Amino acid sequence: MTISNVSRRDFLKTAGLATSGLVISVALPMNALAEKGIMKESAEEINAFIQIADNGDTVIYCGRCEMGQGISTALPSAVADEMEADWQRVTVKQGDADEKYGPQATGGSASIRVMFQPMREAGATAKAMLIAAAAKVWKTSPDNCFAQAHFVINKTNQQKLGYGELASIAANMPVPEKPTLKKKADFKYIGTALSRHDQDEVVVGKRIYGVDTKLPGLKYAAIIHCPVLGGALKSLDKTAALKMKGVSDVVEIPRFAIPFGSIGGVAVVADNSWTAQQAVKQLKIEWSLGENAIYDTKEYKQQLVKNVEKPATLASERGDIEKAFSTAKHKMSATYTGGHLSHAPMEPNASVVWVQKDSCEVWASTQSPADIQKVLGQYLERDPKDIIVHVAMAGGAFGRKFKCDYVHEAAVISQKTGSPIQLTWTREEDMRTGYYHSINAQHIEASMDENGNVTGWLHRAAFPSISTLFDPSLVRTPANSLDDITNHLFGVENCRVESGDAKAHTRIGWYRAVYAIFYGFAFSTFADELAYKAGKDSLSFVNQLLDNNKNKEQTAQVKRAKDILAIAANKSGWKNRDKLPEGQGIGLAVHYSFQSFVAMAVHVEVNGDDIKVLNVDCAIDCGQVLNLDGATAQMEGAVVMGMSLALSTEITFRGGAVVNSNFHDYPVMRITDMPNVRVHMPDSDESPTGLGEPGVAPFAPALSNAVFAASGKRYRDLPFKPMSV
């Protein structure tokens, strides 16, 4: 990592930064990122800026995308803490798409894991330079000075100089090679419950999201997509639409068959969004649907189950599973399934794009501005660097806004009409034109000895993988997508993992928690089933299963998983579960994903088919917690999303097209179902990891286990109570 003083560099102007005062940049070497699996190339680029103006106003730029996960508060607060900035004097700004920020693609719960340390070092660097500047003014040693709340203070005479007064002088100070970082006990913001920097704007309706962008001369567009992946427009009669008052254009958008390009559709351009939406309904369209018109998720899921209940393609193997099975005291098998999910963030896909002869400018809610540059660069045949992307606050994303097909479409419309275009998808189009969480089936067979030790584990999984976005010819899940099964923390000496056939008939994409949703479900539910079979209580059974892990590389992880599970169990009253009223039960699950450990204890009341979730105790170990409030919020949200997918949400395809259309037939959780969620975070000195994704995985299995404890009924299919659509 390199930290530079860039106060006078020319590119600051192009980056839109003022050039007076002190500007510190942080460069995280790309090869360090490559080691972490984030980037491939080796180079050094700038990830963050701190700018202190002559009046002391401080701007900290956040290069990572904000979608509600709180990163634009968390990372700048780490900078502010180390530089002894007064948070009240700090403004956080979102960085536009610029490779100088390094990887801005925001997903995989990677932001804090990758950026925490560099951000701290940037802040510490700024502080050291401000102190050096004050020492110079006072003709004293830097050791005789300290920084506090936007001031440097002279220890001898208690004189004070503000950061604003010092900024320009500090800009001439050498950049310290290795700035000293603060001790944990001295943190002011790190590890506290700092409020989001922008929430006062939210509560008065002033926070601007991607969908809120306004430009002079803006035209509004609505779109209808080809309902089936791979289909195309057969005929279009646009007469009636074009006759409508306020409608100016109808634009055909052919499929752009690259991963984040349009699936293909027809758009209408009008004076306002509503007119455009009404005009879309007047289009007379015939589609030729293509080969995916056969897709029917009910039949497909049944086929997936068949594919995992028979021998499949070997992905990995250790030990001798046949021997383990033939000498078993107990044998047990179960099959688990899950349906497609739509992210359905509250802000539908929307962006503004203005393509002109010499420029292309984008305003969008996005998780991956560099991918917008890449796709638009390829479509417009321009250098990706010439595509200007202003990263807007996303009104939820959950993985959907990583894939900015909607921005590509707005670019097509703008290019063809010459106007700046705001394209807003309707909720129906959002629901029907997604990058869906994989439909899936898993079959597990296990053997146990007389002491309840699991001796063999056969795990077959079949799901159309995200890899099919990049290689549509794949007919089954590639072995590397099954690594989380092979490397699961449960200690089983003899293990065989197989991949069942699963061709994709729709676009598959990352959805909050990704494969951990169904891996977590299968592992933790099956463990509970095994415990019951072995006549053991679920907690001690899982602990034994973890203790049996003899892989030394996983020893530390096993301990953390056990510790965090113990906290969730203790807080839930697990020990006294026998005293619960009739019809109530507690279920446990622990899952390690995205380098964080999350355990949940779900307390339910079951009455016939009615499942009421009363309490959820979440225990998390994400190492050192950067923002207590943000971490808590992520877990509360994970419970809600976990509950939606466990109980009710599923995307259904018939005839190749999505049947669901809006929130009436994609019933996400509402306030009436909200349980009491308690979040427990033990103090930790481990390096911090992320929390956006890992909280979702343990909820569904803990719920399945709780319902079983309460009623004896076992749910193995997600969602438990699908709505028929």
Partner 1 sequence: MTQSIIINGKKHAIDVDGNMPLLWFLRDQLELTGTKFGCGSGLCGACTVHVNGQAIRSCITPVSTLVGKKITTIEGLSEKGDHPLQRAWLNNNVPQCGYCQAGQIMNAASLLSVNAAPSSEEIDTAMQGNICRCGTYQRIKKAIVEAADTLSKEV
Residues that bind partner 1 (CB under 8 A): 67-70, 193, 195-196, 198-200, 202-209, 211-212, 214, 220, 245-246, 271-275, 277, 344-348, 393-398, 424, 426-428, 629, 633, 636-641, 662-664, 668-672, 674, 676-677
Q: Which residue, among 423, 519, 53, has the nearest Cα to 223 in the 3D structure?
A: 423
Beta strand pairing status for 151-154 and 387-392?
unpaired
Amino acid at 716: R
Minimal distance in Å, beta carbon 426 to partner 1?
Answer: 6
**Assigned token pair, 616:** 């959820």
Q: Please, which residue, 490 or 510, has the CB nearer to partner 1? A: 510
- Nearest distance from C-beta of residue 261 to partner 1, angstroms: 25
Comparing CB distances to partner 1, the nearer of 62 and 534 is: 62
Q: Roughly how many angstroms between the first and final C-alpha of the chain, as a whole number?
A: 53
**Cβ atoms 5, 175 nearer than 8 A:** yes
Instruction: Please report how close the Cβ of residue 595 comes to partner 1 at its closest, in angstroms.
Output: 22
Distance CA 500, CA 315 (A): 10
Return the number of the residue (249 or 484) whose C-beta is nearest partner 1. Answer: 249
What phi and psi, each to the nearest 5 degrees, are found at residue 116?
Answer: -55, -55
Is 272 exposed, middle or buried, given 0-12, 13-18 or 19+ CB atoms closer than 10 A? Answer: middle
Q: State the nearest-atom distance from the C-beta of 521 to partner 1, in Å.
A: 19
Both tokens of 467, joined, read 């890899």
Q: How far is the CB of 494 from partner 1 (least distance, A)?
A: 40
β-pairing verdict for 494-499 and 454-462? parallel
Determine how many CB atoms are found less than 10 A away from the CB of residue 593.
23
- Which residues are within 8 A (CB) of 373 and not within 5 positions of it... i.e. 6 or more apart? 97, 384, 385, 387, 389
Closest CB 622 distance from partner 1, rounded Å: 17
Which residue, 81 or 212, is less far from partner 1 as judged by CB? 212
Rg of the chain over Cα atoms, rounded to whole angstroms, equals 27
Kindly report the length of the chain.
Answer: 725
Least Cβ distance, residue 393 to partner 1 (angstroms): 8
Q: Which of 34, 112, 236, 12 is nearest to 624 (CA)?
A: 112
| Identity of the residue, 253 or 393, whose beta carbon is nearer to partner 1 in the bound complex | 393
Report, in Å, the least distance between residue 542 CB and partner 1: 26
Q: Which is nearer to partner 1, 197 or 460 (CB)?
A: 197
Distance CA 480, CA 322 (A): 24
* Closer of 274 and 470 to partner 1 (Cβ): 274
Tokens 């929430």, located at residue: 199
Q: Taking the complex as a whole, how short is the minimal distance between the CB of residue 129 and partner 1, in angstroms? A: 33
When the beta carbons of 200 and 237 are compared against partner 1, the nearer one is 200
Cβ proximity to partner 1: between 124 and 633 the closer is: 633
| 564 within 8 A of 590, measured Cβ to Cβ | yes
Closest CA to 277 of 436, 435, 430: 430
Q: Quick one: 201 or 686, whose CB is closer to partner 1? A: 201
Helices 538-547/555-572 angle, 10° precision: 170
Report, in Å, the least distance between residue 387 CB and partner 1: 25
Closest distance of CB 425 from partner 1, Å:
10
Q: Identify which of residues 60 and 350 has a Cβ nearer to partner 1 in the complex.
A: 350
The whole-angstrom separation of Cα 649 and Cα 718 is: 8
Q: Smallest distance, Å, CB 696 to partner 1? A: 10
Measured from the CB atom, is 185 or 671 closer to partner 1? 671
Nearest distance from C-beta of residue 614 to partner 1, angstroms: 13
Instruction: Determine the Cα–Cα distance for residues 142 and 346; give it in Å rounded to an integer.
Output: 51
Compare residues 481 and 627 and give the one whose CB is closer to partner 1. 627
Least distance (Å) between residue 74 CB and partner 1: 13
CB of 71 to partner 1, least distance (A): 11
- Give the whole-angstrom CA distance, residue 243 versus residue 246: 9
* CB burial string 97-123: b at 16+ within 10 A, e below: bbbbbbbbbbbbbbbbbbbbbbbbbbb
- Contact status, residue 253 vs residue 409, Cβ threshold 8 Å: yes
- How far is it, in rounded angstroms, from Cα 488 to Cα 589? 14
- Tokens, residue 191: 């590890």
Contacts of 351 (CB under 8 A, 6+ apart): 210, 213, 362, 363, 364, 365, 366, 404, 406, 407, 410, 422, 423
Nearest CB to partner 1, comparing residues 207 and 374 = 207
Pick 121 or 429: Cβ nearer partner 1: 429
